[in-house]
Structure formats: structure tokens, C-alpha cells
């Protein structure tokens, strides 16, 4: 999974897709986010449960443990290793949902530049991505999150060999629930993410390669392939 995504709907659209019966603590506001080209290290909307309340916060995309100061903070974590490797051990129990409208991948098609593709759910609903992170009510400098990724099986492998683990609403609620053990969460992430048939993908304007570019033109197809 390459490091670019979109969050342009409002927080209530994401919360409605998740459909959890908890009070919402919304630190983001009610207006559409209108972020069509979201890059790593910036703050991204994250949903998490704490004390029977659903928190909607902006959290930095990327995290590393305090002892790993010699490397950049990863933005993704491979599902095959995340539950048992030492790097993410401290945050593996702290699960979140990263609701996105779509994400982007770049493919070498022989041209002067790699061709960006947009990937999204076919049904128009947000993709509810599995995330883990370090979160605090003070939103301090050590907070951050990563998106869990899996192999792209099926047709999507033609676009990229990794993709986020995306949940159905039912599994997203189970992922967040405090009653779900870390062992259950691992098996979910390994086996129960949405299949490639749920998604569609198409070429988009190469302007998305510049993180300063924003606007709905970045998510419009230049031709349809998926």
C-alpha cells in the first residue's frame, strides 16, 4: 500500500458507516473534511472506543517505538508480523478504525511517470481500515497510528501487492470492541478482511503525485479499468 489516501466526507458519514451505538466525542467538527490527497506524517481521522465512547480524532499517520529513533516512523504494518514482532508490541492492543474514501497506488506502465490508480469500495461506502496506534486524550507528540496491510490476492495484485485490511461494518465493530481479545483480533486481521471483489480501481490524474494538490479532480477517472 502506497502512502496516500482521501478523506473528503464528513465525520458523521464515517460514523454512520460504522454504526456503533455509543456516544460520539468528536474533536474534528461537522463539516466535510475535503482532504483528497492525504500524505503520511499528517494528521488523519481515526475512530476508536474508550470507556464506552466513540472518539473521533485527528492523529498523526505514522508511529515508531521510543527506542527506534534511527528509522522513520512506519505508516503501515504487515499483518503477518504485527501481532508478534517487537516493533509494534506496545500498540498492538490499541485498535482503531481509519475510515477512508479511497487510497492511491502507483504502477509502472512504461510511461515517463508511474500511473496513479484510485481504489475504493464499489458500493460507495467508506473503507473501514484496521489500524493500531498510540492515543492519548492530550494528543501528545508520541501519538500516532499505522494501517495494517495484507497481501493483495486476486485481481487487485495487478495494481499493488499490498493493501489495507478493510472491514465490513460488523467486523469493524468487533475489531474495536474491548471484548475482542488480541488473539481474536490477530485471526480477524489474517483471515477476514474484505476480498478484492468488494473494490474497484481506475487511473486518475498524475497531479495526485504532488501532495500540495487538492480537489475532487484528483479522484476522477481518466479512464476506467476496474
Any catalytic annotation for residue 129?
Answer: no
Q: Which three cell numbers stand for residue 67?
A: 527506542
Locus of grid cell 472518539: 55
Cβ count near 114 (within 10 Å): 15
Q: Which three cell numbers stand for residue 180?
A: 475482542
Catalytic residue (one of 34, 105, 141, 174): 105
Any catalytic annotation for residue 138?
Answer: no
The Cα–Cα gap between 14 and 99 comes to 6
Catalytic residue (one of 2, 52, 170, 183): 2
Burial of 13 (0-12, 13-18, 19+ CB in 10 A): middle
Nearest to 23 by CA among 15, 31, 32, 14: 15
Residues tagged active-site: 2, 105
Amino acid at each position: 500500500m502506497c502512502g496516500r489516501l482521501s478523506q473528503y466526507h464528513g465525520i458523521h458519514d464515517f460514523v454512520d458507516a460504522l454504526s456503533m451505538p455509543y456516544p460520539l466525542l468528536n474533536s474534528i467538527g461537522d463539516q466535510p473534511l475535503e482532504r483528497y490527497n492525504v500524505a503520511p506524517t499528517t494528521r488523519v481521522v481515526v475512530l476508536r472506543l474508550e470507556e464506552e465512547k466513540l472518539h473521533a480524532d485527528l492523529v498523526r499517520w505514522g508511529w515508531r517505538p521510543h527506542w527506534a529513533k534511527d528509522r522513520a516512523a512506519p505508516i503501515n504494518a504487515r499483518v503477518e508480523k504485527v501481532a508478534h514482532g517487537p516493533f509494534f508490541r506496545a500498540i498492538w492492543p490499541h485498535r482503531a478504525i481509519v475510515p477512508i474514501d479511497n487510497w492511491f497506488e502507483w504502477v509502472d506502465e512504461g510511461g515517463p511517470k508511474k500511473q496513479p490508480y484510485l481504489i475504493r469500495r464499489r458500493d460507495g461506502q467508506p473503507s473501514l481500515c484496521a489500524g493500531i496506534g498510540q492515543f492519548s486524550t492530550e494528543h501528545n507528540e508520541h501519538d500516532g497510528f499505522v494501517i495494517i496491510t495484507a497481501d493483495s490476492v486476486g485481481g487487485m495484485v495487478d495494481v499493488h501487492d499490498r493493501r489495507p485490511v478493510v472491514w465490513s461494518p460488523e467486523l469493524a465493530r468487533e475489531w474495536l470492541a474491548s471484548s475482542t481479545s488480541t488473539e481474536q483480533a490477530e485471526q480477524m486481521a489474517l483471515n477476514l478482511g474484505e476480498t478484492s471483489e468488494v473494490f474497484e480501481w481506475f487511473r486518475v490524474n498524475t497531479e495526485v503525485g504532488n501532495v500540495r494538490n487538492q480537489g475532487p479532480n484528483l479522484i476522477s477517472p481518466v479512464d476506467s479499468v476496474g
